A = this chain, B = another copy of it.
Amino acid sequence: MTTESDPRFHRSAEAILAAARELLIGEGPAAVTHAQVAARAGVGRATVYRHWPRVDQLLAEAMATVPMPFFDAPTQPVRDWLHGELTAIARQLELHDVRAVTTTLANSALWDPGMDSRRGQFAGVLSERLAQALDDAVAAGEVRLRIAARSAAALAIGPIYYRSTIEHESVDSDFIDAAIDSLGTWRDRG
């Protein structure tokens, strides 16, 4: 039988992960079962169990394969950069697979410690990156924050997230500007 030092072991892990992610995106978290993942990955069910004894661990790992490019490498003026980043987030959240991953994470985190730690990691990266960018904007005199920089992610992303995952409505530029203005007073805007 294969061992962890066997290349086949790693190839099967990749095939299983890809199959799990396809099922998550296409049919939702309930479709990510050992049997369906094995069938789609073209491996035996025992192989799936050997890699991931618990299906929720496989689900969490499949969700973690979604990249997190947001709020990376801020530029000045920060407001323009922020408007661009929030527009990118809004476009991503129009995609079924991104809505699936984010809402599955928020929901599963309530019962599964592994998913909850993924949630905390996801939220922490976004709020830390944005807080850093806003601190730079404050230092450059571009904005006077009215809230703690660590609260900015929820005020900036929250409206887009709710609009997309609860209202299923689109987000336009004025909507994003309104969210940005909730963070504080921006230069040349009074």
A residues whose Cβ falls under 8 Å from a Cβ of B: 27-30, 96, 99-100, 102-111, 119-120, 122-123, 127, 146-147, 151, 153-155, 157-163, 165-169, 174-175, 178-179, 181-183
Give complex CA distance A146, B30 in Å. 41
Give complex CA distance A146, B175 in Å. 9
- Number of chain copies forming the complex: 2
Classify the interface of chain A: helix, strand, loop or mixed.
Answer: helix
Considering only CB atoms, which chain B residue lies closest to A102 in the complex? B166
Give complex CA distance A62, B110 in Å. 18
Considering only CB atoms, which chain B residue lies closest to A99 in the complex? B110
Given A146-B178, A147-B178, check contact A30 B28 (CB 8 Å).
Answer: no
Considering only CB atoms, which chain B residue lies closest to A183 in the complex? B178
